[in-house]
Amino acid sequence: MGLIDLPDYLFKYISLCNDYHKRMIYNNEIFFASIDKLNDPYDSVVMLRYDLATDEQINERYKYYVKLDHPNLTDIEVERVAKNEMRLNDIKNKDRVNGILVKQRKWVSEHYGIFSMSSVNDSVLMWSHYSDAHKGICIRFNIQKFLNFIRNDCVKERLLIVWNKVEYLPEYPLINPFELTTDEIVIKPLLIKSNRWKYENEIRFILFDHPDKALIVPDGVIDQIILGCKITTENRNSMIEISRQKNLAISQSCLKSDSFGLELNDINID
């Protein structure tokens, strides 16, 4: 599963009542949350259905791993070891299949952190759900600078981050892991959600081996603040001041007069 090309900008809707969110704008701190902190109970735990695999698929996968672990074995020996492993680990056993989801959720929760952004900044629903009913703000990320941070600073710290679009599906999928590559087995369940969430237009950044980890991004990665149409005067003034201090562009979200939508108007703070 390759990394997708990204747009120039992505957006994070935040509430100014949330301390994690406030640190994003004041401290350049972003947070890669474990799945336990996400608001969709199905998030990242669409089950891998090992019971859907054919005997041939299982045998081939076992042979692949046996060869990796024991490169000096002959083909006949590999076949024998693989068949023995299949017998000892009956992955189609009903009790085993029923326990996989619990184990899968625990594994994902302990090994991955997720930071989500949206490709749109004018979603009425996103403002309602994530920006304190339009009283919060939306932060714009300069994606080229963000990717430079991931490819340079994070690599130096041995932090692996990958990204992709979330796939929204009308029905709960049946995923045969033996039809996926090794990378897809890891990533695919993290990128599937019900199409009820399609309005989020989500791009997901996944941090390996570090759930619930905060990272500080350089100045310039966050480059604009968009104020909610119901933001309080106090918070509006605070955001204007922080935009001055950090040299950020700042805009005001407003209701359109002729349709159910939002428009953005630049704020001149000179």
Residue 223: φ, ψ to 5°: -130, 0
Q: Tell me what pLDDT residue 92 has.
A: 67
- 46: its two tokens: 């669409």
Q: Mean pLDDT for each consecutive 10-residue tract of the chain (270 residues)?
A: 82 94 95 89 78 82 85 89 80 64 77 95 96 97 97 96 95 85 82 94 95 96 98 96 96 94 90
Count the alpha carbons within 13 Å of 206 in the hemisphere toward its beta carbon: 23
Residue 189 near residue 48 (C-beta atoms within 8 A): yes
Q: How many whole angstroms separate alpha carbon 92 and alpha carbon 28?
A: 47
Q: Tell me what pLDDT residue 47 has.
A: 76
Closest CA to 91 of 200, 191, 182, 176: 176
Three-class SS of 50-96: HHHCCHHHHHHHHHHHHHHHCCCCCHHHHHHHHHHHHHHCCCCCHHH
Tell me the pTM. 0.84
Number of Cβ within 10 Å of residue 102's Cβ equals: 10
Residues β-bridged to residue 252: 227, 265
Q: How many whole angstroms separate alpha carbon 265 and alpha carbon 179?
A: 49
Place of tokens 């056993």: 93
Q: How many whole angstroms separate alpha carbon 179 and alpha carbon 240?
A: 52
Q: Tell me what pLDDT residue 44 has.
A: 76
Give the dihedral of Cα atoms 115, 121, 124, 128; nearest 10 deg: 40
- The secondary structure element, H or E, covering residue 126 is helix 124-130
Per-domain residue ranges of the chain = 9-46+112-266, 53-104
Q: How many whole angstroms separate alpha carbon 165 and alpha carbon 203?
A: 5
Alpha-carbon 25 to chain mean position: 20
Place of tokens 């480059």: 223
Q: Tell me what pLDDT residue 40 has.
A: 85
Beta-strand (E) ranges in the chain?
A: 9-14, 29-32, 112-118, 137-142, 161-165, 167-169, 192-194, 202-208, 213-216, 222-227, 249-255, 262-266
